[in-house]
Amino acid sequence: MKIVITGVTRGLGRALAGEFIAAGHTVIGCGRTGAAIFDLRMTHPAPHDFTCVDVGLDAKVALWAAKVLEHDQPPDLLINNAAVINRLAPLWEQDDREFTRLVDANIRGVQNVIRHFVPAMVARGRGVIVNLSSGWGRSVAPEVASYCMSKWAIEGLTRALAAELPAGMAAVPLNPGVIDTELLRSCWGEGAGDYPGPEDWARRAAPFLLALGPKDNGRPLTVPA
């Protein structure tokens, strides 16, 4: 299976890439950290491929997608994982720069990737698009209003996309659950350590993701604990 993952340089994306590769699948990934991309390239050579891309920049995503699709089939599984969280503070204390950065990564980045990869998947008539949401895409909490907003947007965007796809495809908004990541530690501090790390999570999440198909189209799902 050919799998495209954004935000592959750390956290859930990095853990998923390793798990998929270990299971014999081909992973094509992107991230913003050049050193981590270089490390992935050295550790996992062709047919895997990793590229430094900021998904919030449409032109960069367009070039990346064109390269990926030029000589190969569209992905069987497309995972929009890349995201950032806001600085903990009331919404009125978030300045325009901070808010725009979050929207670019968490919403525009997802749409940019969909815009440049999904037409080829639609033309082939199969494939699954998974857009990572959050528990905060289905509930809210103080001081993370911007992040909540972005993940609620992903829920709506994905379910609407599901209504647009042809039969045989699926789009799924996925709550990964609570995982001890750098993102969670920025909110919960040491309390995040009470939850499984990315590698433990990926061992459960990878087979769950691989089993998704047309039957799941438009369903808001959560990785089983």
Question: Residues 147-164: pLDDT tens digits?
Answer: 999 999 999 999 999 999
Residue from 222, 185, 183 nearest 204 by CA = 222
Overall number of domains in the chain: 1
Domain of 21? Answer: 2-222
Taking the C-alpha atoms of residue 195 and residue 208, their distance in angstroms, rounded to an integer, is: 19
pLDDT at residue 225 is higher than 90? no
CB contact at 8 A, 6 and 32: no
Averaged pLDDT of the chain: 94
pLDDT at residue 180 is higher than 70? no
For residue 30, the Cα-to-chain-centroid distance in whole angstroms is 10
Q: pLDDT at position 4, please?
A: 98
pLDDT at residue 179 is higher than 90? no
CATH assignment of the domain containing 63 = 3.40.50.720
What are the pLDDT digits (tens) for 16-60?
A: 999 999 999 999 999 999 999 999 999 999 999 999 999 999 999
CB contact at 8 A, 116 and 152: no
Question: What are the DSSP calls for 69-118, one per residue?
Answer: HHSSPPPSEEEE-----PPSS-GGG--HHHHHHHHIIIIIHHHHHHHHHH
What are the pLDDT digits (tens) for 9-21?
A: 999 999 999 999 9
Q: Strands across the sheet with 77-80, in order?
A: 49-52, 26-31, 2-6, 77-80, 127-132, 169-175, 221-222
The pLDDT of 63-85, averaged and rounded, is 95
- Residues designated catalytic: 147
User: What 3-state DSSP class applies to 17?
Assistant: helix
User: What 3-state DSSP class applies to 159?
Assistant: helix
The pLDDT of 156-177, averaged and rounded, is 97
Q: Quick one: CA torsion of 128, 52, 205, 15, rounded to 10 degrees? A: 160
Asked if the peptide bond before residue 207 counts as cis, ω within 30 degrees of 0, the response is: no
Give, for 18, the enclosing helix (H) or strand (E).
helix 11-22
pLDDT > 70 in the chain, percent: 93
